[in-house]
Amino acid sequence: MVSVVGKFRAVARVTGGRVLLWSLLGRLPNAMCPIGTLLLVTRNTDSVWLGSLVAGALAVGQAVGGPLIGRLADRRGQRTVGLVAAAVNALAILALVGASEGGLPLVWQIAPAALIGLSVPLVGPLSRSRWVRLARGDGELTSSMLSLDGIVDEVSFTTGPAVVGVLATLASPAAGLLTAAALVGVCATLFALHPTAAPGAGGRRIRSAERLLTTPYVLLLAGMALLGACFGSVQVGVTATTDALGRPGAAGVLYGFMGFTSAFAGIATAALPARWELPLRLRVGTVLLFSTSVLLLFSGGGIGVLAAAIGCLGVAVAPQMITMFGLVERTVPPARLGEAMAALVSAIILAQSAGTFLGGWSADHFAPTAPFRITVAAAAAALLLAGCTATDRRYRRRATARSEALEKKYVDRSVDSASR
C-alpha cells in the first residue's frame, strides 16, 4: 500500500505546490470574516445583538451567493470569476471596516457585510472541483486529493478565528478584517490565476447539461446540512459550557483541539483501503458521528471531560466532509461540479446558523449543555439518512459517454500546464 505521505506527494505533483499554498491562504478569510465582523460591530456598537445581526447578513449572503459564484465559475471559468470575486470581496471588507469604524447607521454596515458573503471567491469549493478534474477519474488519487483538501479546510477553519482573536487582542478587530482583505486580494487572486483554473464550459453547454438536483445529490445536501447543524450547536454548547464552568477562555482552545483531531482523521482517511467504498465510508462515518456526539451529553462534569468529548467528535468531522465531497463527483454533471460543491458549502452555512440559533435558545431556556442535545439529534438524523440511502447502487460512479467526454475536454485544457 502506498503510504499516506506518498499519496500526498503524488497530489502535489499533479496540482503543483504553490497552488496548494494559495488555496490555504485564500480560504482563510472565509473563516476570519464572520468572527471578525461580530467582534468589530459588537465593539463599535456596544451590542452583541447588533454584531450578530451584521454577521448574520454576511452568512445569508454567502449561502445565497455561493451557488451563484460556483455556477458562474463553471460557466465562465474559474479565472475570470475568481478575479472579479476577489476584487469585490476585498473592497466589501474594506467598506465594512470603514462603515463600522466611522459609526455609520446599521444599514450601511449590513449592506457591505451581505456583499462580503455574496462575493466570497469560493477558494475551497473551487479547489475541490479542480482536484477532481485533475484526477482524471482515478478513484485513489481523487480520494487523496479530497483528503488533503479536507485537512486544508480544517487548518483554515481553526486558524482563521485564532488569527482574528490574536489581532483583536493586540490591536483591534479591524486589524483582523484588514488582514482578511489583504489575503483575499493577493492569495485568492493568485489562486484564480494559476494554470489549474478550470476554463469554463460556456453558457449554452451548461444549460443543456444534465440536471443538478438529482435524488443522490439532494440527499448529500441534506446530509451536509445535518453536519452543519452539528457545527452550530456544538459551538454554542462549548461557549455556554465553558462559561458555566468558569473557564470562558477555554472555548477557543477547544475549537482548535477539535480542528486538530479532525485534521488528523482527514490524513488517516487517505490510508483507508480501496475496498472501503465511499457509500460504506458514509455509513460508518455517521455511526462514528452519532456515537461521539452522545459523549457531549456528559460534558458538564469538567473541562477535561468536555475536551475529550470534543476531541472524539472532531475525529468524525473531516472523514464525513471528505466522503460527501467525494460522492458529489459521482452524482453531478462534470460541467457543474463547482456549483455543486458551492451549494454543499451553502447547506453547511445555513444549517450552522440554524443550529447556532436553536443552540442559543436552548442554552438560555434550559442548561449550558442543552445545545448538545441538538447535536445528538442532528447526528441521529444523519445516521438514519445514511443508513437508509447510502448504497453502492445509488452512488455508483458516473460512466456515461457524455460524462466522460465532458470531463476529458475540461481536463485536457489545463492538466498539462498544471503539472509543470
Summarize pLDDT for 135-185 with one digit per residue, the tens: 776 667 777 777 777 777 767 776 777 777 778 778 888 998 999 999 999
Residues 207 and 184 in one domain: no
Residue 344 belongs to a domain = yes
Residues 307 and 385 in one domain: yes
* Residue 219: C-alpha distances to residues 57, 66, 213, 330, 389 (Å): 27, 19, 10, 13, 8
Residues 285 and 357 in one domain: yes
Give the chain's count of helices (H) and strands (E). Answer: 18, 0
Task: Check which CATH number belongs to the domain holding 142 and give it.
Answer: 1.20.1250.20
Contact 198, 133 (CB under 8 A): yes
**How many independent structural domains does the chain possess?**
2
Residues 193 and 208 in one domain: no
**Residue 319 belongs to domain spanning:** 201-415
Residues 6+ apart with CB under 8 A from 184: 26, 29, 86, 89, 90, 93, 121
Chain-centre distance for alpha carbon 233: 16
Residues 195 and 206 in one domain: no
pLDDT under 70 in the chain at which residues? 1-8, 16-17, 48-49, 137-139, 154, 158, 198-211, 248-249, 251-252, 270-271, 273-275, 396-420
Q: Residue 364 has which C-alpha cell?
A: 438560555
Residues 194 and 246 in one domain: no
Last residue of a domain, one of 200, 235, 266: 200
Residues 395 and 260 in one domain: yes
Contact 37, 111 (CB under 8 A): no
The pLDDT assigned to 365 comes to: 82
Chain-centre distance for alpha carbon 230: 14
Pairwise CA distance, residues 180 & 365, whole Å:
36
CA atoms within 13 A on the CB side of 263: 15
At 271, give phi and psi (nearest 5°): -90, -5
Residue 264 belongs to a domain = yes
Residue 420 belongs to a domain = no
Last residue of a domain, one of 138, 173, 200: 200
Helix (H) or strand (E) holding 257: helix 250-269
Residues 289 and 319 in one domain: yes
Residues 297 and 402 in one domain: yes
At 141, give phi and psi (nearest 5°): -65, -40
Residues 226 and 177 in one domain: no
Last residue of a domain, one of 141, 169, 200: 200
The pLDDT assigned to 4 comes to: 58
Burial string for 319-349 (b: 16+ CB within 10 Å, else e) reads: bbbbbbbbbbbbbbbbbbbbbbbbbbbbbbb
Residues 186 and 241 in one domain: no
Residues 372 and 258 in one domain: yes
Q: Residue 103 has which C-alpha cell?
A: 459609526
Q: What is the DSSP string of 98-155?
A: HHHHTT--THHHHHHHHHHHHT---HHHHHHHHHHHHTTT-HHHHHHHHHHHHHHHHH
**Closest C-alpha to 171, from 89, 112, 101:** 101
Per-residue pLDDT of 99-144, as tens digits, reads: 999 989 999 999 999 999 999 888 877 887 777 777 776 667 777 7
The pTM (predicted TM-score) of the whole model is 0.72
The pLDDT assigned to 181 comes to: 95
